[in-house]
């Protein structure tokens, strides 16, 4: 078995320093927890060890000897297997193929031995069969599986490598109790065999149930390692926040003093649906209301239901004081709502189409137009695009020629040609660079100042603290805490988010 060390690992993406100093040590036969707030650099550290990201500096040692990990194959050759947070499955392949294929040499170089494939996969499927739920079998194509079932397949795929070093980057975020418990049973067996396991999770109950040691990472730096038996959840949260962050008000811009008397543009009462329940809040003109908490606690689901993507089954939505039933995005748009997601692949740009077409569809919908003169559209589009400092060569340029940050500006600009009353932002800065983020938030702030009501869900805590006037912390599909005024601190945000659900 093997002992893994990482020394001084560093990685920057342009001006974003994802990891500034990663030091980490994994012994044989231990589960070593890595914990840090969203965006603190955990996945980057894992990817460096997995060979999918090349560090700018630092070294990785196995059993004390420096090794070169110049790609995923090299990592596997060194006995390192990784569960990727964003999953690494082939959607059109079956469960068995995803688990067994990477481990099987092709027969005669081309053909796969189907019987062996099944046998390899079955060994891992059987461990989880009774907790995997309906519709799960060796022959199911991954594209037909639910999110939790996909996570189970990624777990099985990682286990099937039988690697001495196993890295699990948020493997349990979609799993239910019984699935997590089964996974932990397996981890305990692996530990007993002397494997070294890195485990990332935000759930304190899980960390204390399975961990031997814990390393805290803050703003790209690994700041402390402790024995689980000698620490507790509040000590860990304090290390995540850091001394200066503990009592200080939120870093970044101070919240704008939203006028108390401002008109309420959006009022949601008792909203419930798939993945959330009993959500109530109000947004005033000029206000930026933040949604915080761990990933997948209902934040996106609430925004998407308000926008009519998957309408809520309970509760009421009032826009500018009037109750509305919104059954589709089209109705939402006609009622003055706008929605921007960070998932540009799913909700954003129309690939291969010119920029002008990408900025205009909302204008058509709101005005029920079927014909618009391109000349007048160009004029209308120019203002929001230049406010966003969008860099593009011409309106006829295909949108996918632009960087992610510039694509996102196009997506936002198309909502601004006709001003909505309420802008719903669903993790809008995912994967865009620092400068583009700064441009976006400057624009969002000025839109608020002009009277728009804004709801901002961000998966990066620093972004929320810097931009939201109030923060609603989501936990298990409901708002567990509201942070405003002097309560809007880093410590309180982490505390509310990381308490065991
Ligand atoms: N490919 C990338 N391009 C640009 N920025 C990135 C990329 N990957 C990560 N980042 C940024 O690096 C920081 C750390 O990200 P990550 O390691 O994914 O954090 P964590 O896993 O702790 O949430 C974040 O600010 C993130 O936005
Ligand atoms: Mg991550």
CATH number for the domain that contains residue 219: 3.40.50.300
At 331 the pLDDT is 87
pLDDT per residue, tens digit, the chain (501 aa), is 779 999 999 999 888 899 999 999 999 999 999 998 878 899 999 999 999 999 999 999 999 999 999 999 999 999 999 999 888 999 999 999 999 887 766 555 566 778 888 888 999 999 999 999 888 999 999 999 988 999 999 999 999 999 999 999 999 988 888 999 999 999 999 999 999 999 998 888 899 999 999 999 998 999 999 999 999 988 898 898 886 554 444 444 445 555 555 799 999 999 999 889 999 999 999 999 999 988 788 999 999 999 888 889 999 999 999 999 998 888 888 899 988 887 655 555 555 555 555 555 555 555 554 444 556 666 767 766 776 666 666 666 666 666 667 777 777 777 777 788 999 998 888 767 777 788 888 888 888 998 999 999 998 888 899 999 999 999 889 999 999 988 998 888 888 887 754
Q: Whose CA is nearest to atom 24 of ligand 1?
A: 39
For residue 461, being part of any structural domain is answered with yes
Cα(167) to centroid of ligand 2, in Å?
A: 12
Ligand 2 centre from 456 Cα, in Å?
20
In terms of domains, do 288 and 199 share one? Answer: no
Shared domain for 368 and 449, answered yes or no, is yes
Residue 359 exposed, middle or buried by CB count within 10 Å (0-12, 13-18, 19+): buried
464 domain-assigned:
yes
pLDDT of residue 342: 76
Nearest CA, atom 11, ligand 1: 18
Look at ligand 1, atom 20, and give the residue with the nearest C-alpha: 39
Whether residue 337 lies inside any domain: the answer is yes
Do 16 and 95 lie in a common domain?
Answer: yes
Last residue of a domain, one of 196, 221, 247: 247
Q: Are residues 277 and 231 in the same domain?
A: no
Ligand nearest to the CA of 19: 1
Q: Is residue 432 part of a domain?
A: yes
pLDDT at 249: 45
Q: Are residues 80 and 157 in the same domain?
A: yes
281 shares a domain with 142 = no
SS3 assignment for 233-300: HHHHHHHHHCHHHHHCCCCCCCCCCCCCCCCEEEEEEEEEECCEEEEEEEEECCCEEEEECCCCCCHH
Residues with CB under 6 A from ligand 1: 13, 16, 18, 36, 38-44, 431
Residues 270 and 220 in one domain: no
Task: Ligand 1, residue 37: give the atom nearest the CA.
Answer: 22
- Residue 289: its pLDDT value, please? 97
Q: How many domains does the chain have?
A: 2
* Chain centroid offset of residue 458 CA: 9
Residue 402 counted as domain residue: yes
pLDDT for res 253: 47
Q: Do residues 151 and 276 both lie within one domain?
A: no
Separation of CA 75 and ligand 2 centre (Å): 19
Is residue 254 assigned to a domain? no
352 shares its domain with 395 = yes
What lies within 8 Å, CB to CB, of 233 at 6+ separation is 204, 208, 498, 499, 500
Q: Is residue 218 part of a domain?
A: yes
Helix (H) or strand (E) holding 25: strand 16-26
For residues 42 and 179, membership in a common domain is answered with yes
Which of 247, 274, 294 terminates a domain? The answer is: 247
Query: Taking the model in full, what pTM does it have?
Result: 0.70
Is 253 domain-assigned? no
Nearest ligand, CA of residue 437? 1
Same domain for 180 and 326?
no
136/51 same-domain check: yes
Domain of 310 in residue numbering reads as 264-498
pLDDT at 252 (0 to 100): 47
Pick from 127, 105, 128, 129: nearest CA to 116: 105
Element spanning 66, H or E? strand 65-67
Domain termination site, one of 221, 247, 273 = 247
Calculate ∠ Cα 266-270-272, nearest 5°.
Answer: 105
């Amino acid at each position: 078995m093997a002992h893994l060390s990482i020394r001084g690992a560093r990685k920057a993406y342009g001006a974003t320093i994802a990891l500034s100093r990663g030091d980490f040590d994994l012994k044989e036969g231990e589960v070593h927890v890595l914990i840090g707030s969203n965006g603190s650099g955990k996945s980057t550290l894992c990817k460096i060890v997995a060979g999918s990201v090349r560090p700018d500096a630092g070294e990785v040692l196995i059993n004390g000897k420096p090794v070169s990990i110049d790609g995923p194959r090299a990592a596997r050759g060194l006995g390192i297997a990784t569960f990727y947070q964003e999953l690494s499955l082939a959607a059109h392949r079956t469960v068995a193929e995803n688990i067994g294929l990477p481990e099987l040499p092709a027969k005669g170089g081309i053909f796969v031995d189907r019987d062996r494939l099944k046998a390899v996969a079955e060994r891992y499927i059987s461990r989880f069969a009774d907790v995997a739920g309906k519709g799960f079998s060796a022959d199911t194509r991954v594209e037909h599986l639910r999110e939790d079932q996909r996570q189970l397949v990624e777990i099985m795929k990682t286990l099937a490598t039988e690697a001495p070093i196993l890295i699990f980057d948020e493997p349990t975020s979609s799993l239910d109790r019984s699935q997590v418990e089964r996974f932990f049973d397996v981890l305990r067996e692996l530990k007993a065999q002397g494997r070294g396991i890195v485990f990332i999770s935000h759930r304190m109950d899980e960390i204390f149930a399975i961990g031997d040691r814990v390393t805290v990472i803050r703003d790209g730096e690994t700041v402390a390692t402790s024995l689980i038996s000698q620490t507790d959840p509040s000590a860990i949260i304090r290390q995540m926040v850091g001394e200066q962050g503990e009592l200080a008000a939120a870093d970044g811009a101070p919240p704008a003093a939203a006028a108390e008397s401002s008109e309420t543009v959006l009022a949601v009462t008792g909203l419930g649906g798939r993945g959330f329940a009993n959500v109530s809040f109000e947004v005033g003109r000029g206000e930026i209301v933040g949604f915080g908490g761990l990933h997948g606690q209902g934040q996106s689901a609430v925004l998407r239901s308000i926008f009519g993507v998957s309408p809520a089954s309970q509760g009421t939505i009032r826009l500018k004081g009037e109750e509305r039933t919104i059954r589709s995005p089209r109705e939402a748009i006609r009622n003055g709502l706008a929605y921007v997601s960070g998932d540009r692949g799913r909700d954003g740009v129309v690939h291969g189409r010119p920029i002008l077409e990408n900025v205009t569809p909302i204008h058509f919908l709101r005005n029920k137009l079927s014909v618009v003169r391109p000349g007048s559209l160009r004029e209308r589009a120019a203002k929001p695009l230049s406010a966003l400092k969008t860099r593009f060569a011409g309106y006829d340029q295909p949108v996918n020629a632009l960087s992610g940050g510039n694509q996102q500006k196009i997506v936002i600009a198309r909502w601004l040609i006709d001003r909505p009353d309420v802008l719903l932002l669903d993790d809008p800065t995912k994967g865009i660079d620092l400068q583009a983020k700064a441009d976006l938030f400057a624009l969002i702030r000025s839109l608020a100042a002009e009277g728009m009501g804004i709801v901002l869900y961000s998966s990066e805590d620093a972004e929320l603290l810097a931009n939201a006037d109030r923060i609603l912390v989501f936990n298990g599909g409901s708002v567990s805490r509201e942070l405003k005024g002097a309560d809007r601190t880093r410590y309180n945000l982490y505390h509310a988010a990381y308490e065991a659900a």
